[in-house]
Amino acid sequence: MSVVDDILGGNEKSAARLITRIENGDTDAYRELAVLFSRSGNAHIIGVTGPAGAGKSTLAGRLAEEMARRGKNVGIIATDPSSLSGKGAFLGDRLRMKGAEERNIFIRSMAHRAFPGGVAKATAAAAYIMEGLGKDCIIMESIGAGQADKDLFFLCDTVITIFTPEYGDDIQLFKAGLMEIGDIIVVNKSDKPGADDALREIGIAVDRSTRSNGWHVPVIPAEAVSGAGLSDLADAVESHRLSIEGKGEAPSRKAEHLEAFLTALLKEELWQRISGRITAHDVFKELSHEVLNGTIDPYSAVHIILERLEREWTSH
């Protein structure tokens, strides 16, 4: 049996191995990925974002359990905020998602490494592979990097933004950025003091922001540890899915998202491929020396480096 057949037959070990090959940049694995991608596009992809420590992992695990109870075949992709592959953080995610793990929900953690959207470069591939396994509901946890997470939308059909009563006015802007991308907002840790105020404040802010597609963003109180509010959240997730489908928006959203993702991936790969050539080039060494000496500013230096490289590369 081929790897693809194995995965289509539900073999999670084969799926995990293929995800690892993609993470490691093994381009031979793209053949298998291409087949799985061509069959993907029907699973409901749910993104979970929010500030550090807001309860994203715990809530993603609980939501997965709730969706599984409702008959969905669920997978989770968690993102490790560290730029190195920190095994400790991976273990932390497992702890937070114990219930989901006990239910044999497929969970994969990935290292972020500064990819846009607060997820890993291989996150989309992991989703195509999970869909190949038969997952029809895939939950992605992002690292909650605020503005950077705005791009999370391009991998997800529904984005859940989590806040907690612990965050004050000082992060209004951060909040606004995250709030903008949330299709659903959760006020987690509702067992903590100030939950009612947070609910009210966020509710007012949400009412002020209108969505062009007429979707009204619900604000849902929850306690991810106990699971309180998770049923309401699952209802909202389903309503959002039906709302996109009902309006026939799904295909155009998918197309828009894929194009944005393609651009992000291209940027990332392009830089990986050429950064070594640039930093090893004499013009880079020369100009960085001058910047360090204070004889030229960094802006002019970058301008000169690019002009020189462009001339050189196009004349070849």
Ligand X SMILES: Nc1nc2c(ncn2[C@@H]2O[C@H](COP(=O)(O)OP(=O)(O)OP(=O)(O)O)[C@@H](O)[C@H]2O)c(=O)[nH]1
- The listed partner (ligand X, Mg ion, none) that binds 58, CB under 5 to 8 Å by sort, is ligand X
Choices 101-109, 130-138, 217-225, 263-271 (CB under 6 A): range interacting with ligand X: 217-225
3-class DSSP state of 267? helix
Q: Establish if 53 lies at the interface with ligand X (CB under 6 A).
A: yes
Nearer to Mg ion, 56 or 135 (CB): 56
CA dihedral 198, 204, 209, 215 (to 10 degrees): 90
- The listed partner (ligand X, Mg ion, none) that binds 32, CB under 5 to 8 Å by sort, is none
Q: Tell the burial category of 153 from Cβ atoms under 10 Å away from its Cβ (0-12, 13-18, 19+).
A: buried
Angle value at C-alpha 76, between 52 and 173, nearest 5 degrees: 30
Nearer to ligand X, 6 or 93 (CB): 93
Least Å distance, CB 53 to ligand X, is 5
Nearer to Mg ion, 56 or 175 (CB): 56
- The listed partner (Mg ion, ligand X, none) that binds 189, CB under 5 to 8 Å by sort, is ligand X
Least Å distance, CB 141 to Mg ion, is 6
Q: Establish if 207 lies at the interface with ligand X (CB under 6 A).
A: no
- Which residue type sits at 240? H
Closest listed residue to residue 153, CA positions, set 202, 109, 118, 121 = 118
3-class DSSP state of 108? strand
| Cβ contacts of 209 within 8 Å, gap of 6 or more | 179, 180, 217
Nearer to Mg ion, 56 or 108 (CB): 56
Kindly report each contact of residues 301-306 with a partner whose C-beta sits within 8 Å and lies 24 or more positions away, as own/partner. 305/278, 305/281
Contact 52, 148 (CB under 8 A): no
Rg (CA), the chain: 22
Least Å distance, CB 202 to ligand X, is 16
Least Å distance, CB 57 to Mg ion, is 3
DSSP-derived secondary structure letter, 47? E
- Tell me how many residues contact ligand X (CB under 6 A): 17
Least Å distance, CB 198 to ligand X, is 12
Q: Establish if 55 lies at the interface with ligand X (CB under 6 A).
A: yes
Q: How far is residue 141's CA from residue 107's CA, in Å, rounded to a whole number?
A: 11
Least Å distance, CB 80 to ligand X, is 8
- Which residue type sits at 109? S
Residue among 21, 33, 40, 56 that touches ligand X (CB under 6 A): 56
Q: How far is residue 234's CA from residue 307's CA, in Å, rounded to a whole number?
A: 53
Helical (H) or strand (E) element with 208: helix 195-208
Q: Establish if 191 lies at the interface with ligand X (CB under 6 A).
A: yes
Q: Establish if 257 lies at the interface with Mg ion (CB under 5 A).
A: no
Q: Establish if 57 lies at the interface with Mg ion (CB under 5 A).
A: yes
Choices 122-130, 145-153, 188-196, 204-212 (CB under 6 A): range interacting with ligand X: 188-196
Q: Establish if 73 lies at the interface with ligand X (CB under 6 A).
A: no
Site for ligand X, rule CB under 6 A: 50, 52-58, 96, 144, 188-189, 191-192, 223-225
Site for Mg ion, rule CB under 5 A: 56-57
